């Protein structure tokens, strides 16, 4: 009774559903589903129906799986997890795991890695741990979980492997450095002089966004160049055009422009460790 009271008096539906999820997972498999099974044994009020539906939502069930997986949680260094898993790791490990867009899957993979940390117990907290707004994490989890094409175990396994192969960098430091450069132009002028003499007014902000996406592997919509506003498709169009126009040499120049000390590989650091080494203890479980 105390548990039921705690569920019904939760501050919001999300918290109530999270508390109810372990109990709905105990319902036996029947042709009528959990709602039908419960309806035969209790009075399904509108409130209870809404809570059961929320608790059975795909993103909620994946959360419960991550919280209770036999391999346990892993105290990974969250600064080594980018906001968005890089494109190369997506192609190698995540492609085909969900019918959602690549950008959504790559974001969800990073959120899943953060969600495995023992101190991160919600999708909103996972987003905030990666320096993103909490609601962004919840929306992404709902969208991607509903389109998952593999089991929760398989998704976790693929995500761990993608994380283990991601370059070792302090991504929060890289984000901060690129954000700081928004008000500076010398670095851009030098890059343009060497690589793009026909650079136009406004290309500075586009270059900032390119570094944000391709160097810090951060979410496009959170680029400091948007100055706190949420970009529209019309806003993104000039960036996409700029991105497509860069040749290999120009990209290499832009990638080396941010502070090397804060984005370089941390091979020489014994304290930071790697995602790969942090994951070593559970790899046997994932195989």
Q: pLDDT tens, position by position, for the chain (287 residues)?
A: 566 666 666 666 566 656 656 656 666 666 656 656 666 667 667 776 666 655 555 545 566 556 655 455 667 899 999 999 999 999 999 999 999 999 999 999 999 999 989 899 889 999 999 999 999 999 999 888 888 888 888 898 999 999 999 999 999 999 999 999 998 999 999 999 999 999 998 999 999 999 999 999 999 999 999 999 999 999 999 999 999 999 999 999 999 876 544 444 433 333 344 455 444 443 333 33
Distance CA 34, CA 21 (A): 12
67 belongs to a structural domain: no
144 with 282, same domain?
Answer: yes
- Tens of pLDDT, residue by residue over 195-220, are 999 999 899 999 999 999 999 999 99
- pTM value? 0.72
126 with 81, same domain?
Answer: yes
Which residues are CB-contacts of 49 (< 8 A; sequence separation ≥ 6)?
35
80 with 112, same domain?
Answer: yes
140 with 208, same domain?
Answer: no
273 belongs to a structural domain: no
Specify the number of domains making up the chain.
3
Q: How many CB atoms lie within 10 A of CB 141?
A: 26
29 with 97, same domain?
Answer: no
Helix segments in the chain, DSSP class H: 2-8, 13-24, 33-39, 46-55, 58-68, 87-89, 102-115, 123-129, 134-145, 152-164, 171-180, 186-195, 203-214, 233-245, 248-255, 260-263, 275-279, 283-286
118 belongs to a structural domain: yes
Closest CA to 177 of 267, 274, 260, 110: 260
Distance CA 43, CA 30 (A): 18
181 belongs to a structural domain: yes
Beta bridge partners, 148, equal 98
Q: What is the residue range of 31's domain?
A: 2-56
160 with 178, same domain?
Answer: no
203 with 143, same domain?
Answer: no
Q: How many CB atoms lie within 10 A of CB 61?
A: 16
46 with 78, same domain?
Answer: no
157 with 194, same domain?
Answer: no
65 belongs to a structural domain: no
Under 8 Å between Cβ of 51 and 20: yes
272 belongs to a structural domain: no
156 with 188, same domain?
Answer: no
180 with 248, same domain?
Answer: yes
Cα(first)–Cα(last) distance of the chain, in Å? 41
């Amino acid at each position: 009774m105390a548990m039921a009271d705690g569920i019904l008096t939760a501050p919001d539906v999300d918290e109530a559903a999270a508390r109810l999820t372990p109990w709905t997972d105990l319902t036996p498999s029947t042709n009528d589903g959990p709602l039908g099974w419960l309806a035969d044994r209790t009075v399904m009020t509108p409130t209870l129906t809404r809570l059961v539906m929320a608790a059975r939502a795909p993103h909620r069930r994946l959360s419960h799986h991550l919280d209770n997986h036999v391999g346990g949680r892993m105290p990974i260094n969250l600064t080594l997890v980018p906001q968005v898993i890089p494109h190369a790791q997506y192609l190698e490990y995540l492609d085909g795991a969900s019918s959602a867009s690549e950008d959504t899957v790559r974001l969800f993979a990073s959120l899943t890695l953060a969600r495995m940390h023992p101190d991160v117990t919600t999708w909103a907290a996972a987003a905030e741990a990666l320096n993103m707004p909490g609601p962004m994490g919840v929306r992404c989890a709902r969208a991607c979980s509903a389109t998952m094409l593999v089991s929760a175990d398989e998704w976790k396994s693929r995500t761990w492997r993608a994380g283990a192969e991601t370059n070792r960098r302090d991504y929060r430091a890289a984000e901060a450095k690129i954000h700081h450069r928004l008000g500076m132009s010398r670095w851009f002028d030098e890059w343009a002089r060497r690589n793009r003499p026909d650079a136009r007014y406004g290309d500075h902000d586009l270059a900032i966004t390119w570094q944000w996406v391709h160097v810090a592997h951060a979410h496009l919509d959170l680029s400091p160049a948007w100055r706190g506003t949420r970009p529209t498709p019309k806003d993104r169009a000039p960036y996409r055009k700029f991105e497509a126009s860069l040749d290999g040499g120009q990209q290499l120049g832009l990638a080396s422009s941010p502070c090397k000390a804060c984005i370089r590989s941390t091979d020489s650091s014994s304290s930071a460790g790697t995602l790969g080494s942090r994951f070593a203890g559970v790899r046997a479980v994932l195989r």
